Structure 1
Amino acid sequence: MREDSRRSRAIGLVICAGFSLGLAAQQPSGAPAPESGATSQGAAPQSNTPSPQGSPNGGATGTTLDYLYNRKPGDGSAAQGGAGGAATMQQKAMAADMLSGAENLIPPELESYLNSAEVDAQEVKAYEDLFKQTVNLLRDKRQAAVAVGNLYTLSEYPWDAGISRQLANRVLSFWDMRNNQAELDAANRALQQKVKVASRNADMISDDVWRKEEDRTRRNAINGRPQGQGSKQGNQGDKNNGNKAFLPSPKDASDAVSGVMGKLQLTEEYFNSLDSRARMRLNEKEMEELEKKAKADFKKFVDVLFQGRRHYHARVSADFYRILFGDGDLPPELAQQAALSSEIIRQTESDIEVFKFKVQQQKVASGSKILREAFFKSQYHPAFQSVLRAQKLQTAEYYEKLQQVQAMIEAKDFVKLETTLKALEKDVVDFDGTKPRALVDGVKRESQMRLGMAKLAAQQGQLDKAMEEFRVAAATWPGNPDLETASKQFFASQDTKNQGADDFDRAVKDANFRLIFEKQLQFAGAVHGDPKREEQLKSALEKVKGAELAYEKASLLDRSRDPFGAWEALELATQDWPEDSKLNKFRADVSVRATDFVASISKARDAERRGDDGFALTWMLNAQRQYPPSQIANEGIQRISNTILGRPAPVSAVAERGAKGAESPEGTKNSNSGRAD
């Protein structure tokens, strides 16, 4: 029972002490410094977003421009001004790209490499061998200290750029961290010893206090009075003491003080034990944080090497990680980067050998492509240092010619472009100029087609469309040799058109329909768009066409020894166009061979005009007897007979033409001339 009571009191003291420590830890003392991982309430949290310097938008500047030119026009009252400014800047950018767009074909870092001198192959081989030795030390022998020494030697090579030294420093930092952990571990061992001493002292003090309590209780039991009674009697028996108040005896007072001191010492030992345990926990936490931070920093360093195309260093860094942290297998992302680094190193070495072989075979086009891809895949591979400068200059010259080709295409200088393409195909056996030539041919065809459309529009009188087609043709191919000729012809045609309109009006005024017929193509373009003149042109062409058909028919009949039919065909045509000299001349020639028939028709017409229908009918019958198929005689007989019998008859075409001829002085003149013939 007493043992249980003692343990209960001790547990109560420990609980009280723990509660007191908890309150002390919760109440800040003065102005506490924030922990390393904490963020003050007023401070902005630190972002893990990568720096925008390498972003395509150019960081804050790119974001601002994107807002001003893409989103701002739709937000404020200055929308139109912002959009116009964006269009202007875009045009300027396009113009700048037109002048120097070929720069993007070969980036500056590649151009610098192609013009740099090569490094001695033995020196490069020594570097690679030392790297392989370092890897073997880590993988096979696990000798990290010797491997770190090799890193300092590797950092002396110029193309290493001190990356190996940085890796060595990273390893040394890890070892420093291990030393810090060792110091903390030693401190924990000392604290553990203090905990043991404090626990042992507490146990001893607790036993001592318990024994004293037991002795005191036992003495009181032996004296047969409860605790405190003997002291009261002693005071009563002291006759020299005049104070009748209660005073403890010296023995009781000594035992009470001793008991209290023992309990205070027990509490102090428990507090010391708790303090040591708390310090041990803090040290353990600090060791864990050091380990965690070291791992995170090392993995981040390896990632930086991998993303920076330092694959040699990324691979050896992964081996260092495996030895330093002793995790066995690498973390997944680190293992993936190590595997990719090894594959890229192997592929790059193969690509460089293929490039050297292709350049020797004058296949610079495919070789340059392989070198370019390998360079941007693993730019800092030591094998690049051993490529001969002469081979690199061949690639640089090839890229320069490609820049010239691109500039010529942008400037539409297709004459020089053809010469450059031929030179490229001669010097670079695997260069394919099919696509550039196809582009050139397409542009030429479009320009020629636009010129043709401009000419057609000019002929149709569509001046606005013609000028637009000329402009597009010039913009498509400014150096088109046919462009200047076509433009001169266009402006000359405008002058010709104006002159042609004047000539057409003069020909219409003079009734020179034969001239209009002979120059119908020229006059068609000149009068296009003018309805009145177009109608005059159409009438003139129909008149001449009818005359020509009659002339051809008469010629055919005359050659067939049918002068009557030939004269009649000409006579009918001259009634439509009495002024045509060609018809009149041919009719006069034919009338000589058809004198009787012509005379009968003439006398019948004269009698019909005088109203002597019987006499007119007689001569028409005489003409029919001479030439039965005669259209003039047959229609005349029918017409005169209807008149004599008093029957109305439809007016035939011959009668209409005859009436017109009878009404006009020119028709009378022609009839008289025919009768004379």
Structure 2
Amino acid sequence: MGNVLPLFDPSSETLMFEGQMWDINDNRIFNARFEKYLNAPPANDKEDQAYRSTMELIRQTLSPHNKAKGGRVDLNGAVALLEKASTFRQDGRMSESIANAVYRIWLARKQGRELEMANERLRRVRSDTVRNAELSSRPNMLRPGNSSQGAGGAAAQPQADRAEDMVGRLSAAGEYATRYAEIQAKITANEGVMAVSELESKLEFQGLMVQFFVQRRFEHVIAAARIYTEFYNDGGGRLQFKEGSDASNMFKDVAGFDPTVTSLDSLANEAIQDTAQAIEAFNFLIEKGERASASKRLMEAFVLGEFLPPVQTVELEKKQSILEFVRAYNQMLSSLEVKDYALAEEKVNAMRGLAQDFDHSKPLAAINTARLTSNMHVQTAINEGLRGNEQAYKENIAAATQIWPTNPELKTAFDSMAKQGNRQIQTINDLDRLIATRSFRQINTDKGRYIAAVVDDPKRQEALNEIITNITTIDISIQQARKLAEVGNTYGAWETVEEAFKEFPDDPPLSKARSDYATEVASFVSALKRAEELEDRGQTGAGLAWYLKSRQMYPASSYAAAGIKRLVDKSLPEQAPVTQP
């Protein structure tokens, strides 16, 4: 567990997979996917039940204890059921992929039988060629003198006839040798084609099983593994990976063993069992009102077996009962990240009311430690300011602001320095100058000094708070884009910074991030810009085509979706109201 199967650690809120640790609370994509799951109704309609029944029939049909077939695996029946399962939306055509792989194995073996029959014919021709070559090497008994069996017969044959007979036999032998070599080459080539065809279909089937395993489609892994063993008997079905590939590293280097089809089957069954146990624990904890532990158990089951029936059939009421807690928990983490300790404490108290088993000691300890440390820096700043140590005053104010930007004790620090009016005036002048030149980043860098300077100036305080809030918003957008880019979603990263850039076009780091991501997805950006230009010109059809092209590049594009909706709404006339006769 944790090497080839995902392992969730509830104590640290981390997921171990392929030997690496992942913080699921710091994963925007996972949180969004899990929250979508919590809002989804259970998969219990007739179609869902029919799909699960079909998958169970597949498992029974492929079982060596299949009573309907006298304890034999019904491979043809299983393939027919796979085709049926692929028609359900829940399957995502994965069963069809298995059926197609089986069909390709059948084709490969049919081709092999045909080539073997061809080789058998070639072998008979080869035997005839050898026999004819042997006959051609004997003297021609029909020539005069060769018919005599006495010693005088050979002597009676003219010298020219003997030479001509020898040349004829050598020529025939050469032709038969060439023919023999051609036949043998064809046999060898056919045998090579048979071996390659068998190996290709085998490796393709192995790759399909590994793909299902990585996608956590464990029911399909089991079906594919059992079908594989019906076709191949190769010592447990050892998987063959390219040396140094990701799949090889995942199983061999991390797990420490060479995987087999049997081990994949076993691991898939273990994952199904672990998921079912996690859901059982979730149901038990929900009944006890322990929402914090229940949310962890459900998250563990979701990470491991998102597509398995126990996860898909959880009642909506139970999922909704932990949705509020999960949202509050995520908001608390976001508040701690941006150092808004007042909001973080509010969410901690809310979670204490929602879940009796919520351990509030760790977040409250972090909040109180940050507040205490910030207040200590404020007090030190006051003392240093009174001593006239301006450098130490700035350093401690900056440290206090860095730890807790909204610390109300910062006003106390300013009050203690009120007598130093010239410093305040200079600070305000600097602030006005930086605002006039739109040097907002520089203001944010030294925000502690400006916060203390404008504490009694509501107008400047409002402007300063807006600047700090805007920079924080920009930094969050850049951070979100960076995380999306790290998981390979550069398109989403560009759209994130593009949305922020429309509101804050003068921020240098944001402009640089926008330029960097635009370079990586240049064709996508170009298509969007072209679509917008055509839309502005009123060329609806051409604009819609470019928006559709953009969505092909990035199906989750919000820009492409919005553009398509605008143009479709513009193109389709409103339906006239129906008049009652």
* 1:454 is aligned to 2:385: no
Q: Is the 8 A contact 1:209 1:259 kept in 2?
A: no
Of 106, 122, 134 in structure 2, the residue corresponding to residue 175 of structure 1 is 106
Instruction: Give the AA of the match of 2:97.
Output: Q
- Tell me, yes or no, if structure 1 residue 130 matches structure 2 residue 37: no
CA deviation profile, 1:369-388 (whole Å, cap 9, x unmatched): 22222222233223322122
Q: For 1:491, what is the secondary structure of its paired residue?
A: coil
Q: CA deviation at 1:152?
A: 1.0
Alignment of structure 1 residues 49-448 onto 2, 5 Å? 104=28, 106-120=30-44, 124=48, 126-140=50-64, 141-207=72-138, 209=140, 215=146, 218=149, 221=152, 227-228=157-158, 260-327=167-234, 329-331=236-238, 333=259, 334-448=261-375
Q: 1:301 corresponds to which letter in structure 2?
A: L
State the AA in 2 paired with 1:274: A
Cα shift at 1:485: 3.5
Cα distance change, pair 266–354 in 1 and its aligned pair in 2 (3 A): same
State the 1:296 CA deviation.
1.5
Q: Is the 8 A contact 2:275 2:301 kept in 1?
A: yes
Preserved CA contact (<8 Å) 1:365 1:431? yes
C-alpha deviation, 1:218, in angstroms: 5.0
Query: Does structure 2 conserve the Cα–Cα contact (< 8 Å) formed by 1:206 and 1:266?
Result: yes
Q: Equivalent residues in 2 for 1:568-579 (5 A)?
A: none
Residue 520 of structure 2 corresponds to which residue in structure 1? none
Say whether the 8 Å CA contact 1:124–1:382 is kept in structure 2.
Answer: no
User: After superposition, what is the alpha-carbon deviation per residue over 1:347-366, rounded to whole angstroms, capped at 9, x for unaligned?
Assistant: 11211222233233332222
Contact 1:414 1:440 in 2 (8 A): yes
Contact 1:102 1:407 in 2 (8 A): no
Note closer, same or farther for the CA distance 1:405–1:257 as it changes in structure 2 (3 Å cut).
same
Q: Residues 471-496 of structure 1, C-alpha deviation per residue, up to 9 Å, x if partnerless?
A: 4334433433343244223324889x
**Separation in 1 of the partners of 2:389 and 2:134?**
119
What is the percentage of aligned positions where both structures have the same residue?
A: 25
Structure 2: distance between partners of 1:474 and 1:274: 88
Superposed CA deviations along residues 454-509 of structure 1, whole A, max 9, x for unmatched, are 333344343443344334334433433343244223324889xxxxxxxxxxxxxx
Deviation, structure 1 residue 412: 3.4
Q: Which runs of 5+ in 1 are unaligned?
A: 1-100, 229-247, 496-677
Structure 1 position 481 matched with structure 2 position 408 = yes
Structure 1: distance between partners of 2:129 and 2:34: 71
Residue type of the alignment partner of 1:279: K
Report the Cα distance in structure 2 between the residues aligned to 1:322 and 1:175, rounded to whole angstroms: 14
Q: Is the 8 A contact 1:106 1:399 kept in 2?
A: no
| Contact preservation (8 Å) 1:124, 1:383 | no
**Distance of 2:43 and 2:56 partners within structure 1:** 19
The 5-angstrom pairing of residues 505-654 of structure 1 reads none
**Shift in CA distance, 128/213, structure 1 to aligned 2, threshold 3 Å:** farther
Query: How big is the shift at 1:309?
Result: 1.4
Tell me if structure 2 keeps the 8 A contact 1:102–1:403.
no
Q: Is residue 329–residue 347 contact of structure 2 (8 Å, CA) maintained in 1?
A: no
| Secondary structure of the structure 2 residue equivalent to 1:374 | helix
Whole-angstrom distance in 1 between the partners of 2:181 and 2:278: 67
Letter in 1 for 2:193: E
Cα distance between partner residues in 1 of 2:272 and 2:37: 19
How much does 1:313 deviate?
Answer: 1.0
Letter in 2 for 1:176: L
Structure 1 residues 213 and 152: alpha-carbon distance in aligned structure 2, compared to 1, 3 A threshold: farther
Q: CA deviation at 1:125?
A: 5.1
CA deviation vs aligned residue, 1:313-342 (integer Å, no higher than 9, x gap):
112111111101233632152332221111
- Contact 1:312-1:341 within 8 A present in 2 as well: yes
Q: Which residue of 1 aligns with 2:444?
A: none
For 1:185, the aligned partner's letter is E
Deviation at 1:271, TM superposition (A): 2.9
Instruction: Indicate which of 486, 490, 496 corresponds to 2:417.
Output: 490
User: Structure 1 residue 430: deviation in Å?
Assistant: 1.7
Q: 262-271 vs 417-426, which deviates more?
A: 262-271
SS in 2 for 1:215: coil
Distance 2:144 2:270 in 1: 81
SS across alignment from 1:107: helix
Structure 1: distance between partners of 2:144 and 2:297:
95
Counterpart-to-counterpart distance in 2, 1:105 and 1:165: 29
Q: In structure 1, how many angstroms separate the alpha carbons of the residues matched to 2:104 and 2:141?
A: 55
Contact 2:35 2:323 in 1 (8 A): yes
1:651-662, aligned counterparts within 5 Å? none
- Report Cα offsets for 1:168-220 as digits up to 9, x if no partner: 00000000001110110111011111112222323333345368597267577
2-structure distance, mates of 1:105, 1:147: 36
3-state secondary structure, aligned to 1:142: coil
Q: Which structure has greater helix proportion?
A: 1
1:275 to partner: Cα distance: 2.0
CA deviations on 1:200-252 (whole Å, 9 max, x unpaired) are: 323333345368597267577169x6654xxxxxxxxxxxxxxxxxxx9xxx7
Structure 1 SS opposite 2:202? helix
Q: Aligned partners of 1:478 and 1:434: how far apart in 2?
A: 23
Whether the aligned pair in 2 keeps the contact of 1:450 and 1:469 (CA below 8 Å) is yes
Q: Counterparts of 2:180 and 2:420 in 1: how far apart (Å)?
A: 115
Give 1 or 2 for the bigger CA radius of gyration.
1
* 3-state DSSP of counterpart to 2:62: helix
Task: Tell me how far apart the structure 1 counterparts of residues 359 and 29 of structure 2 sit (CA, whole Å).
Answer: 17
* Counterpart contact for 1:220–1:227, Cα < 8 Å: no
Structure-2 change in CA distance of 1:259 and 1:455 (3 Å): closer
Kept in 2: contact 1:174–1:294 (CA 8 A): yes
Q: RMSD between aligned alpha carbons?
A: 3.1
Question: What amino acid does structure 2 have at the position aligned with 1:172?
Answer: Y
- Give the conservation status (yes or no) of the 8 Å contact 1:199–1:273: yes
Q: 1:133 to 1:208 in 2, by over 3 A?
A: farther
The C-alpha deviation readout for 1:412-458, integer Å capped at 9, x for no partner, is 33333333221211111221111111111112212222232233334
Whole-angstrom distance in 2 between the partners of 1:344 and 1:201: 66
